[in-house]
Amino acid sequence: MRDAAFDLLIENGTVVDGSGDAAFRAAIGIRSGRLAVLRGETDELSAGRRIDAAGMVVAPGFIDLHSHSGLMIFAHPLHEPKVRQGVTTEVIGVDGLSYAPLPDPSDLEALVHMNAGLDGAPPQAAPYDWSTVESYLDRLDGLRPSVNLAYLVGNSALRIAAIGWEEVEAGGAQVTNMRSMLREAMEQGAIGLSSGLDYPPGAYASTDELAELTNEAAKHGGFYHTHVRYPLGDRYLDPFREAIEIGRRGGGPAHITHFYHRQTFPGGPGPMLALVDDARAGGLDVTFDTYPYEWASTRLLIMIPPWAQSGGPVRTKERLADPSARERIREELRERGVLFAGGRAWDDVRLGAFTRPELIGWEGHTLGEVIADRGDDPVDVLCDLLLAEDLRVNQVTPGPWTETLRDFIRHPVGMIGTDSTFIGEKPSPRTYGSYPRVLGQFVREEAVLSLEEAIRSMTSAPAARLGLTDRGAVRDGFAADLVILDPDRVRSNATYEEPRRYPDGVEWVIVAGEVVVNPDGHTGARPGRVLRPHQAARTA
């Protein structure tokens, strides 16, 4: 390959290869979508195109461990919010909310309906006509987005297919059925199992049930990727103890997604990180990702207790309209401290994704502002909004505490996952700015960690977690997924008030050897595909 003509030659750059080792000077040749690292002179080499990367860093493309693009990418396959910050591969099917396997078309329709406030429901994805993991991934491959995708099977999908939408305990035969569906999904290209234990019906799963499923995923090279059960026990360490215990019982790797310290937690970040360190010292494979912004985002429906969501979207809406159910919701929110004198908790809940003409004016405003304007009971306003918008409302709220965020970003087994959402006028700024913020603020300005270590946490570390053996590093023969950035200029421009702003300093992004982003913007190229590493390993 070194002696052959190259499709693309990147010259004069500084390579940060993703390993965490010191940067070095080299040229990078690309031919047929694969890399060659060239440490000698390149003047005599033939290339169809050359990029002068003088003064810039050449690194592996970033691998995002948490993205809510599994439906929205059908509507926006260029995927600019992500690829323009250097993401070349991302993980979908997160939070237990994957859209396959769902053999019954009515269940797929209901899950899209129930989750539209988080993942959207773009008409461009219609018809929602897949049923298996294989048919869903084939649809994504046919789409040819600008980034690569890796797919997790959500435990909500497994529960819906095996048990239904009700809050019931899974019996032995039902767990066996879920294991069988998960095994088939892994054979069709999934990389592991996800859970979202704040989102029914996956939230109804027991620790034992999740351990059984983790065991099945691990048998096929996969891992357990979890949004933990935040209301559990002390609501501080116990949710993460359960996640680690699921990995231990299941005999598989456990990955805690969007792991961070909230200001409302009763203790600091030290005990949280010690849980991970102690588990690893005891021989368990535990890792985590963090998003580097202070703003969380999810569906507004998350404010409604799980019992009220049992049975799916139709039953949920019936309860939201029922005065007696509203009173029970009101009492539970009061016990959780959400309702208190003055109602200030509502002021931090920014609303988005409205569609009804009479409500669009509230786009980007807070729930507190709506309550104050209407002068009604907060729970009545919350339920009325969800009913009027058919459950589709999104929320942006405070998330990681700024003062402790750096502890997670610098941790040696920490990685970056954006938890990006794509609906509403003002999503969390993490969707557009996560990687540039780490590189600009936390690396260049604050020296929280080195450039080499930051890029390792964005590339080779997540590649290893996902089982991607030919990505995440600048190495001979690896897939040509690259980002070329200016280390002196890279920065996020996305803020809470203006979240849909592209970053500075990410000059070139290359996916499968094709230039997707250049200094002028997106090129229109769509070379992405679904990555099926464990399937490839079994069929090799």
Domain harbouring 282, CATH code: 3.20.20.140
- Residue 358 class from Cβ within 10 Å (0-12 exposed, 13-18 middle, 19+ buried)? exposed
Same domain? 382 vs 407: no
User: 367-409, pLDDT tens digit by residue?
Assistant: 999 999 999 999 999 999 999 999 999 999 999 999 999 999 9
What pLDDT band is residue 471 in, cutting at 50, 70 and 90?
very high
Backbone angles phi, psi at 201, to 5 degrees: -85, -5
In the chain, what percentage of residues exceed pLDDT 90?
93
Same domain? 164 vs 304: no
SS3 for 499? coil
Q: Which residue has the higher pLDDT, 337 or 370?
A: 370
pLDDT at 4 over 90: no
Backbone angles phi, psi at 533, to 5 degrees: -65, -40
Same domain? 387 vs 354: yes
Same domain? 112 vs 163: yes
Q: CA-to-CA distance for 36 and 20, rounded, in angstroms? A: 19
**Any residues with CB less than 8 A from the CB of 244 and at least 6 apart, and which?**
254, 275, 276, 279, 284, 286
What pLDDT band is residue 23 in, cutting at 50, 70 and 90?
very high
Beta strands in 109-181 (DSSP E): 148-154
Give the 3-state secondary structure of 252-310.
Answer: CCEEECCCCCCCCCCCCHHHHHHHHHHHHHCCCCEEEEECCCCEEEEEHHHHCCHHHHC
Residue 433 lies in a domain: yes
Same domain? 272 vs 307: no
User: Quick one: pLDDT at residue 539?
Assistant: 45
SS3 for 8? strand
Boundary of a domain, candidates 465, 495, 510:
465
User: 276-334, pLDDT tens digit by residue?
Assistant: 999 999 999 999 999 999 999 999 999 999 999 999 999 999 999 999 999 999 999 98
Same domain? 406 vs 391: no
User: Quick one: pLDDT at residue 540?
Assistant: 41
User: Quick one: pLDDT at residue 443?
Assistant: 98
Beta strands in 369-472 (DSSP E): 394-398, 414-416
Residue 535 lies in a domain: no
Q: How far is CA 334 from CA 92, 329, 348, 398, 503, in A?
A: 34, 9, 17, 19, 41
Tell me what the mean pLDDT of segment 404-428 comes to: 97
Tell me what the mean pLDDT of segment 187-204 comes to: 98
What pLDDT band is residue 236 in, cutting at 50, 70 and 90?
very high
Same domain? 208 vs 139: yes
Same domain? 201 vs 266: yes
Same domain? 217 vs 206: yes
DSSP 8-state symbol, 170: P
Same domain? 72 vs 179: yes
What pLDDT band is residue 1 in, cutting at 50, 70 and 90?
very low
Residue with token string 């959207």 = 120
What pLDDT band is residue 537 in, cutting at 50, 70 and 90?
low
Residue 225 lies in a domain: yes
Q: Considering the chain, what is the average pLDDT of its residues?
A: 95
SS3 for 145? coil
Residue 303 lies in a domain: yes
Structural domain count of the chain: 2
Is-contact 20 453, C-beta < 8 A?
Answer: yes
Is-contact 432 297, C-beta < 8 A?
Answer: no
Same domain? 408 vs 388: no
Q: Which residue has the higher pLDDT, 260 or 347?
A: 260
SS3 for 234? coil
Is-contact 214 254, C-beta < 8 A?
Answer: yes
Q: Which domain holds residue 316?
A: 299-397
Q: Which residue has the higher pLDDT, 266 or 285?
A: 285
pLDDT at 3 over 70: no
Residue 130 lies in a domain: yes
- For 396, the token pair is 């942006």
Boundary of a domain, candidates 376, 397, 418:
397
pLDDT at 12 over 90: yes
Residue 488 lies in a domain: no
Residue 540 lies in a domain: no
Q: How far is CA 449 from CA 61, 408, 420, 531, in A?
A: 19, 11, 23, 30
Residue 253 lies in a domain: yes
Q: Radius of gyration over alpha carbons of the chain, in Å?
A: 23
Q: CA-to-CA distance for 241 and 504, rounded, in angstroms? A: 39
Identify any residues that bridge with 34 across adjacent strands, giving them in sequence order: 31, 479
- For 79, the token pair is 């995927």
User: 53-69, pLDDT tens digit by residue?
Assistant: 999 999 999 999 999 99
Same domain? 146 vs 96: yes
Q: Which residue has the higher pLDDT, 211 or 127?
A: 211
Boundary of a domain, candidates 351, 373, 397:
397
Q: CA-to-CA distance for 221 and 192, rounded, in angstroms? A: 8
User: Quick one: pLDDT at residue 341?
Assistant: 44
155-169, 256-270, 455-469, 515-529: which has the minimum mean pLDDT?
A: 256-270
- For 272, the token pair is 């949280």
